[in-house]
Amino acid sequence: MLAATLRTAATLALPPRCPGCGVPVEADGRFCAGCWGELRFLAPPWCAACCLPFDHQPHPGAMCDDCLRRPPRHAGVRAAVSYGPIARRLALKLKYGGRMGVAATMAALMARHVPADAELVVPVPLHRWRLWARGYNQAALIAAAVARHGGGTVLRGGLVRTRRTPVLRALSGRARADAVAGAFAVTAPARPRIAGRHVLLVDDVHTSGATADACAAALLDAGAGRVTVLCWARVLPGSD
C-alpha cells in the first residue's frame, strides 16, 4: 500500500515525458503526437540485400543499384526509423547525454524488425579508451533491451575493436571504409559460440555502413552463419 502510494506521488511529481521533446505524456517511453508524427518508420518494400526502403516494389527480390554492383556480406540493415530531427535527438541523448533509459524506447520500436531465427545479439563495440571516457556503450544498452524483446542471447565482449578509429562523420565513404578496415575482431572464446549462428549486430545509427560492414566481416570470417544489422535509425540517401 505504501509502495503504491509512493509510486503515485512520484508520478505526479515527475510525470513521464516524451523522449523526443520532453512534454508530459501518459507513460514512460511514449512519444507525444507531434514527435510521433515526425518519425518515419521503415518497413518493406525494401532492397532484398540491404533493406534500403523502396517507394514501391519493382519485383520480388529486387535490389538497389549499390547492391547490384556490390552485394553486402551481411543480410541487410533493418532500422526502426529514418534519421531525422527526432531520431537524432534520441541518439544524442543516449550517446552523449547519459539518458540510458532511451535505449529501451529505441529497442521497443526496433523489435518488430528482429528476425525470427536470430540467435545471438552482438553490439557494435567501442574502443576501450572511448568506453572508459563515456562510461558505457550505447549499442550494448540497446542490444540488451533488444534481447529482452526476444532478439536472442546477448554476447558480451565477443566482438572487440582492436584499435582506435577516427571520428567518421567528416570522412568520405571510401575514407570511412579504410578507417575501420580490420579494426574489429572476434575473441577466441567467442568463436565457438557464434559458429554457424544467425547473429544480430546492433547499433544506434547507420550512416555510410562502413562500421557495420567491418563488424559483419569480422563475425562472418570467424564463422557466423549469417549477420543481420539492426539499428535505431538509418541515414537514407538524399537526407540531410
Predicted pLDDT at 171 = 60
Same domain? 51 vs 75? yes
Same domain? 31 vs 144? no
Q: Check pLDDT > 80 for residue 228.
A: yes
Same domain? 93 vs 126? yes
Same domain? 48 vs 17? no
Same domain? 223 vs 141? yes
Confidence band, pLDDT 50/70/90 cuts, at residue 190: very high
Query: Which SS3 state, helix, strand or coil, does residue 17 take?
Result: strand
Q: Check pLDDT > 60 for residue 31.
A: yes
Q: Check pLDDT > 60 for residue 10.
A: no
Mean pLDDT along residues 141-147: 96
Predicted pLDDT at 163 = 83
Q: Cell numbers of 134, please? A: 563515456
Is residue 240 situated within a structural domain? no
Same domain? 213 vs 160? yes
Predicted pLDDT at 3 = 43
The CA radius of gyration of the chain, in Å to the nearest whole number, is 19
Q: Check pLDDT > 80 for residue 201.
A: yes
Same domain? 26 vs 67? no
Predicted pLDDT at 127 = 84
Number of domains in the chain: 2
Helices (H) and strands (E) in the chain — how many of each? 10, 7
Give the integer Cα–Cα distance in Å for 127 and 137: 10
143 and 154 in contact (C-beta within 8 Å)? yes
Average pLDDT, the chain: 89
- For residue 11, give its domain range: 1-38
Confidence band, pLDDT 50/70/90 cuts, at residue 168: low
CATH number at residue 144: 3.40.50.2020
Mean pLDDT along residues 28-45: 95
Same domain? 191 vs 76? yes
Confidence band, pLDDT 50/70/90 cuts, at residue 7: very low
Same domain? 101 vs 27? no
